[in-house]
Amino acid sequence: MFTKILFPTDFSEAAEKAKDKLVEMSKCNIGEIILLHVVDIRIFSYSTMLDIIEVDNWKKDGKLIKELNRKLDAWKDELEKAGLKVSTEIKEGIPFDEILKYSENNGVTLILLPSVGHGVVERMLVGSTAEKVLRKSKVSVILLR
Amino acid sequence: MFTRILFPTDFSVHAKKVKTKILKMKDCGIKELVLLHVVNKKLFGYSPISQELTINDMFIDGDITKSAELKLKGWGKDLESTDITIKYDVVKGNPFDEIIEYSLKENCTLIIMGSKGLTEAEELLIGSTAEKVARKSKIPVIIIK
Ligand SMILES: Nc1ncnc2c1ncn2[C@@H]1O[C@H](COP(=O)(O)OP(=O)(O)OP(=O)(O)O)[C@@H](O)[C@H]1O
Ligand SMILES: [Mg+2]
């Protein structure tokens, strides 16, 4: 049941707490963990509309991806120290959609969801992500608190 | 997180699937497992037969609770093992309210339940009891698909 856990993270406080819970679960004979960050393409629609950023710029100069990889690797290190087997993954799209797609296409057996995200706007986004994953997932889900 | 697990069951095939998952959670350090069935008040309506004797008095406080207890004990037999203490409990009321209240009152650390239950609705991915408990619980919830 815990053979392949998908842990989608937005690096929020709630996700941070979820990471600690995952460490608590490490004695559970966990196979592997995939740390996934989805670059939410919806945030780019505003900036392109206002000409602040070219849609593809964040990919071209590679800064965003570099920073995300740095963060993901730090989390990976921490989880590996607890004896877990971890890999990282970055996708772009709408978070709930990418989470569902990834889990169905990669034999994920459990999706880990922190319950709330950070900030007022983010909280709504993260909240709706968790809610949609919960409702549409074909894979077992754990909601952490 | 796994010390005192609450497993609410409606005896459905989905709840049965949860049982097989729990059997695979041996390494998680489960100390106590509470099997709970909520006698759903809604199914009996509330109109009293007479002023003195309500339907609740006749069934919920009498035979139905008792037979649910018997059924629960038989149903949970295969979960019994030497290192886990099992408790059986039957309460009456509205399933999702009772499950959440019970989890708090009994200091449970995790709820594990099926994504669906007795209602045979194929197009549905999650039942109303599971969804409400997942959203409103104060402790972690695993929803088994
Ligand atoms: N009366 C109950 N007592 C204890 N646990 C229950 C009860 N009803 C449901 N559950 C738990 O909730 C899980 C999901 O069932 P749920 O009731 O949400 O789905 P459903 O019956 O298919 O749909 P719905 O009840 O919304 O018509 C069950 O597998 C079981 O673990
Ligand atoms: Mg039901």
- Is residue A48 predicted with pLDDT exceeding 50? yes
ipTM given for this complex: 0.86
More confident residue, A41 or A58: A41
- What ligand 1 atom has the least distance to the C-alpha of B39? 1
Instruction: For chain B, list residues with pLDDT below 50.
Output: 45-53
Of A120, A97, A81, A108, the closest CA to residue A40 belongs to: A97
For domain A4-144, give its CATH number from 3.30.365.10, 3.40.50.620, 1.10.10.10, 3.40.50.2300.
3.40.50.620
Domain ranges of chain A: 4-144
CA angle B137, B129, B116 (to 5 degrees): 120
For domain B4-144, give its CATH number from 3.90.930.12, 2.60.40.1110, 3.40.50.620, 3.40.50.1460.
3.40.50.620
Residue contact B25–A143, C-beta within 8 A: no
DSSP letter string, A31-84: -EEEEEEEEETHHHHHHHHTTSS-TTHHHHS-HHHHHHHHHHHHHHHHHHHTT-
Residues 101-120, chain A, touching B (beta carbon < 8 A): 110
pLDDT > 70: percent of chain B: 86
Domain ranges of chain B: 4-144
Band of the pLDDT at A51, cuts 50, 70, 90?
low
Contact B130, B142 (CB under 8 A): no
- Is residue A57 predicted with pLDDT exceeding 80? no
CA-to-CA distance for A94 and A99, rounded, in angstroms? 9
Within 8 A by CB and 6+ apart from B3, the residues are B29, B30, B31, B32, B109
Please give the model's pTM, rounded to 2 decimal places: 0.89
